[in-house]
Amino acid sequence: MALSINGQTLDYYHLEQPASRYLPGASAVTMADGSVAYTGFPIALWDYGFISGAAYDALRAVCPGASVGVTVTVLLDDMTTEASYNAILIWPEAESIQRRAKRALQFSLKFLLLETI
């Protein structure tokens, strides 16, 4: 198994491995005893210093609007285990995307409401 979106590996989208973050819940709550518990659905974040124009176009074909339902395989917080989920892919806000020399700089994909497949 490899990181993927809708069953297509990162190579299909002209992407390298992202700086990947997995959060086991939407928010962390400090309990009365000082321990922390996560609430809500897990979240996955893929951060890139930049992506090529080809990668941008391939991802935009998957998510032509602000968000879209996808299947995604992500790296969990142990950094070795991969898991597949149904999720909502959130496209970065327009003002956060810096385009230069046919690249998108500081590009991040957010996957919300991860549900185990």
DSSP character for 8?
Answer: E
- Predicted pLDDT at 116: 94
pLDDT at 1: 57
Strand, helix or coil at 63? coil
Write out residues in the chain with pLDDT < 50, as ranges: none
Domains identified in the chain, total number: 1
* Mean of all residue pLDDT scores within the chain: 93
59-76 burial code (b ≥16 CB/10 A, e <16): beeebeeeeeebbbbbbe
In which domain, by residue range, is 69 found? 4-116
Q: Count Cβ atoms within 10 A of the Cβ of residue 20 and give its class: 0-12 exposed, 13-18 middle, 19 or more buried.
A: middle
3-class DSSP assignment, residue 12: helix
pLDDT, one tens digit per residue, over 34-65 is: 999 999 999 999 999 999 999 999 999 999 99
pTM value is 0.89
Residue 6: predicted pLDDT: 96
